[in-house]
Structure 1
Amino acid sequence: MARPSYRSLDGLVLAPVADQAPGQVGTRTRFTYHEKDGEIWAEYAGGDVVRGHLVGTREGDLLDFRYVQLKRDGTTSSGHCVSLVAELPDGRVRLEETWEWESQPGSGTSVVEQVTDSAR
């Protein structure tokens, strides 16, 4: 089981461990996180997502953020996500996410994990 982690997300690259529904983030999507003084933000792209951004806050190991993205088909979408930050046994960071679209129907859970340089 993953253990709590208070280490910074700043500069980390994370990727989903599984594909979501078509037109959403997937295993080819890469999130580059930034963190400063309780604020978090990230840029992401890959797969069906041309460009995405998220912005929010961190309190301990809980992230609360909103995201917006542009997909390859030219449509945009946005939503809200709450994530729990954990550390894997090998020291990498894992985010266990619960998300809900605000611009369209749908919600779910997902997991993203820190990628190593060779997996980028």
Structure 2
Amino acid sequence: MLPSLDGLLFAPVARPAQGEVDPGTRFAYRERDGLVWAGYRGGEIVHGHLVGTRTGNTVEFRYVQLNRAGETNSGHCVSELSRLADGRLRLDERWEWESRAGSGTSAVEEVLPGR
């Protein structure tokens, strides 16, 4: 199993076609005893939260967010954790909106301090 997400910062690689997060969004992860949560903001997102669980290298969570247009949206995501060649962590995500139509895939990668 790969290391804990606790205290790590992640950023999206790109903006997915039906998504709202983009490379300007930052996710601040916490993890304890199989529980995972994060706050996120930046880009089109004013305020977002996710909460879920981790089993091995799989993270499953629900998210809710407020965008710059003043709209709230929510959904479900299953992510697979892996390690990049440079040692950083990556989450490959399969997500689906629950508050509206749409689904997709995306990825977030660890942002090293000072970047």
TM-score (norm 2): 0.96
In the other structure, the counterpart of 1:10 is 6
Distance of aligned partners of 1:59 and 1:29 in 2 relative to their CA distance in 1, 3 Å threshold: same
TM-score (norm 1): 0.92
Q: Which runs of 4+ in 1 moved over 6 A?
A: none
| Residue 102 in structure 1 maps to residue 98 in structure 2 | yes
Q: Structure 1 residue 22: deviation in Å? A: 7.5
Q: Between Structure 1 and Structure 2, how many residues are aligned?
A: 115
d(CA) in 2 for partners of 1:17, 1:53: 19
Which runs of no fewer than 5 residues in structure 1 stay unpaired? none
Which runs of no fewer than 5 residues in structure 2 stay unpaired? none
Q: CA RMSD in A?
A: 1.3
> Does the CA contact (< 8 Å) of 2:18 and 2:104 recur in 1?
no
d(CA) in 1 for partners of 2:19, 2:84: 28
Distance of aligned partners of 1:49 and 1:23 in 2 relative to their CA distance in 1, 3 Å threshold: farther
Identity rate of aligned residues, in percent?
A: 59
> Does the CA contact (< 8 Å) of 1:86 and 1:93 recur in 2?
yes
| Residue 25 in structure 1 maps to residue 25 in structure 2 | no
Q: Which moved more, 1:15-24 or 1:57-66?
A: 15-24
Structure 1 residue identity aligned to 2:69: D
